[in-house]
Chains A and B, each alone.
Chain A
Amino acid sequence: GQNIDQPTEMTATEGAIVQINCTYQTSGFNGLFWYQQHAGEAPTFLSYNVLDGLEEKGRFSSFLSRSKGYSYLLLKELQMKDSASYLCAAMDSNYQLIWGAGTKLIIKP
């Protein structure tokens, strides 16, 4: 079956770095997405990886290893506004997104 695993909750300190891991199993693969969702709001797109390696975008970076079925989202210089849920989603061969349950990130001062 198709499955996405990511930690339920993580806590980090303002100014620090945090890495949110995601493992996936899908029927075919057309990319891995990360979304940020603040409470009560719709998700917003953060990153898309389809090739192995690290994609850097400002304070956020995303990594993909297709052979391992693994991705991570790296957040640097954490700010209080980064407190949110981070959703990992893999696109299968039919271009359908398989969603993880989300990782709630708590930032402490």
Chain B
Amino acid sequence: GAVVSQHPSWVICKSGTSVKIECRSLDFQATTMFWYRQFPKQSLMLMATSNEGSKATYEQGVEKDKFLINHASLTLSTLTVTSAHPEDSSFYICSAKDSQLGSSPLHFGNGTRLTVT
């Protein structure tokens, strides 16, 4: 089945540094990928929609200068948390759907647990 690889699984960084999270679709092409954030015991919160070859679409309240998204190829999207602060500590999850199929399910990466100290 379709696989989405997300890396790293967890990362600890110091306040003020930047962290890059990668999301790859391994056996399908994804013109669109999605980035979510999830706080403990809460549902997924869509942060942005990543579009291959164009700018990402950010949800209201999400700072695009802080959460940089790059979708340079049909199989890779990256999320960079810039100048991270402790309040950015969270579980970040990416997802992708097969571009060939209109109503295909989203396939999720395993998530990245970010801890900012």
Main secondary structure of the interface of B (DSSP, over half): loop
Interfacial residues of chain B within 63-117, with CB under 8 A of chain A in the complex: 91, 93, 97, 102-103, 105-111, 113
Of all chain A residues, which has the CB nearest B1?
A45
Q: How many angstroms from the CA of A96 to the CA of B36 in the assembled complex? A: 13
Task: Please state if A50 and B44 are interface contacts (CB–CB under 8 Å).
Answer: no
Instruction: Given A42-B93, A42-B111, verify A33-B43 contact (CB < 8 Å).
Output: no
| Complex contacts, A30 vs chain B, CB 8 Å | 102-103
Contact for A41 among B46, B102, B111, CB less than 8 A: B111
Interchain CB contact under 8 A, B44 and A99: yes
Which residues of the other chain, B, contact A40 by a CB distance below 8 angstroms?
91, 113
Q: Given that A87-B44, A101-B43 are contacting pairs, would A44 and B108 also be in contact in the complex, using a CB cutoff of 8 Å?
A: yes
Which residues from 20 to 43 on chain B have a C-beta closer than 8 Å to any C-beta of chain A? Answer: 34, 42-43
B-side residues, CB < 8 A to A, are 6, 34, 42-44, 46, 49, 91, 93, 97, 102-103, 105-111, 113
A residues lining the B interface (CB < 8 Å): 30-31, 33, 35, 40-45, 48, 50, 85, 87, 89, 91, 95-97, 99-102
